Amino acid sequence: MSLNLQEKDKKNIWHPYTQMKDYSQRDLLIVDRAEGIYLFDENGRRYFDTISSWWCILHGHNHPTMKKYVSRQLEKLDHIILAGISHESVILLAEKLVEITPDPLTKVFFSDNGSTACEIALKMSLQFWRHSGQPQRNRFVSVLGGYHGDTIGAMSLGGVPEFHEEFKDLLFESFSIPSPHCYRCPMGKEQNSCELECLQPLEDLLDREGQHIAAMIIEPLIQGAGGLRIYPVRYLKRVAELTRQHGVHLILDEVATGFGRTGRMFAMEHADVVPDFLCLSKGLTGGMLPMAATMTTDEIYNVFYDDYVENKTFYHGHTFTGNPLAAAAGLGSLQVFADEKPFDRMKQTIPHLHHCMERFRDLPWVGDVRKLGMICALELVKNRETKEPFGFRERVGWKIYLEGLKKGLILRPLGNVVYLWLPLSTTMAQIDEITELTYQVLSDPANINGWPG
C-alpha cells in the first residue's frame, strides 16, 4: 500500500515549495489521519504537527465542534454563488468577525486564500482613490522581508527574493522600506536601545511621495515567511501614526498572525492599532477548510456604493467566495473560542513555552531566540560574533527536517530559521515533549550541516 501510494504521488503530484528531486530516492511522508496536535502516517507512527500544517490549525485537527458545524451545514447546502445571493452561515460569520474586530471595521469581503485577501485590499484601496478624485495615489509601500502571498499583486509587495526572483518581470513597481529585523538591524542599532531609526526611510518616503501612495501593507509584529522576524510593538504604532498623518491606507496582513497566535485574537491588539484593511485567512476556519476575508470600513465601502450606471462596482470575485462549508468551519472555530476559552489556558502555556525555549540559547549555533505567543523561532548561524549565516548550499534546514521526522516532529525550517508554530490547544506536557525532542535534534552537531566544529 505504502509503496503504491509513493509511486502514484511521485508520478502525478507536483508539491508546493518543494524540490521534487529531493524525493527521487526518498519516500515522502504520507499522512493517513490526524487528531489534535498529532499526525499519523499509514503505518500508525505519530508526529507532532509543530507547524500547525502551514500555520492554519488552531484547535487541533478534527476538532469535534468544528466537525459538527461542517457536517450540519453539509446536510443543508454545499455551495452557492455569493454574487447577489447569500446564506445563513456566511451572514453569521461576517457578523461575528465584525464583533471581534475593532471599530470601524464593519464590512467583510470573502475570498479563498491569504494571497487573494491581500490582493483584494490593494485593489480596493486603488479603486477607492480613483473614485475619490485622487487617481495619482497609485503606488504601494511594503517592508523588505515581508510576504503577502504568491499572486502577482501580492508578490509585487513581497520582499523574499528567494521566492519571487524568477517572476520579477511580471511584477509592478512599488516602494519598500528596510525590515525591522532586530537581530540583523539594517541601521546597525541594538534592539533594546534604538529609536526606530529603521523607520526614517518611511518618514522620508511619505514626506516625498505621500500624495502618490495609496496604501502600505505590513504583517503586524512578525514577518512570517521572511524568517520569523519579530519586531517591537512601538514600531507598528509608529507605522500607523505615519500612514495616518499622510492619509495613506494601512493594510494589516493578519493571515498568519490572526486568531490567537500571538496571545491576542489579533496581533494588532498588542499595539492598539486599527487598519483601513484587515486581511484574514489560515486560522479563519481553524485550518479545516480554505477561506479568506478582507475587512474594511464604511468610509471605504461607501465610495463604491452608488447607482449601477456610475460603474463603481468592485469587480472582483472567486467561485468559492463565502462557501457555506468553509463559513460553517469558521463559525465552529469561533464557537471553540467561546466554549474552551483558549486565551485563559494560554496564560500558562505561553510563558511555559517561552521558558522552555531559553535553553536553546546555550547552543553555539543558535544566534537568536525569538518568541511571540505560541510562535517561537531559532536563527542558526555559523558564528555568533559575526552572525555569519549558513549558506544556501549548506542547506542546514534539510538535515534538521529529516532528523525531526525520526523524532516524530514535523519541523520545516525557513532557511536557517527553525521554528515552532503551535496550535492554541497545545498542552504543557506536549510543549515539554516538543521542545525536548527539538533540543535533541538541534544539540547534535552532526545535524548542523557546515558547522565548523
Q: What would the DSSP string read from start to end of 220-288? A: SSEETTTT-EE--HHHHHHHHHHHHHTT-EEEEE-TTTTTTTTSSSSTHHHHT---SEEEE-GGGGTTS
User: How far apart, in whole angstroms, are the C-alpha atoms of residue 359 and residue 428?
Assistant: 17
Q: How many residues does the chain have?
A: 453
- Closest CA relative to residue 438, chosen from 399, 408, 396: 408
368 an active-site residue?
A: no
DSSP 401-444: HHHHHHTTB----BTTEEEEE--TT--HHHHHHHHHHHHHHHT-
Which residues, other chains included, contact 335 with Cβ-Cβ below 8 Å and sequence gap of 6+?
Answer: 65, 66, 69
> What cell does 49 get?
504537527
Residue 413 Cα to chain centre, angstroms? 15
The catalytic residue among 49, 253, 276, 368 is: 253
Least Cα distance to 294 among 78, 111, 36, 47 occurs for 111
Single out the catalytic residue among 17, 169, 315, 362. 17
Inter-CA distances, 432 with 348, 401, 423, 426, Å: 13, 19, 14, 10
Told to judge if 17 belongs to the known catalytic residues of this protein, a careful annotator would answer yes
Q: What is the DSSP letter of 36?
A: B
| Catalytic (active site) residue 282 | yes
Q: Catalytic: which of 107, 282, 382, 399?
A: 282
Q: Which of 47, 69, 147, 235 is catalytic?
A: 147
Under 8 Å between Cβ of 240 and 215? no
Query: 158: number of CA atoms within 13 Å, CB side?
Result: 27
Tell me the three state secondary structure of residue 188.
coil
Instruction: Work out the number of other CB atoms within 10 angstroms of the CB of residue 230.
Output: 20
Active site residue 49: no
> Which residues have CB under 8 Å from 341's CB, separation 6+?
none
Task: Find out whether 244 and 206 touch, Cβ atoms under 8 Å.
Answer: no
Q: Which residues make Cβ contacts (< 8 Å) with residue 47, sequence separation at least 6?
A: 29, 38, 39, 40, 41, 405, 408, 409, 410
Q: Measure the CA–CA gap between 428 and 373, rounded to whole angstroms.
A: 14
Question: Phi, psi at residue 157, to the nearest 5°?
Answer: -115, 20
Active site amino acids: 17, 147, 253, 282
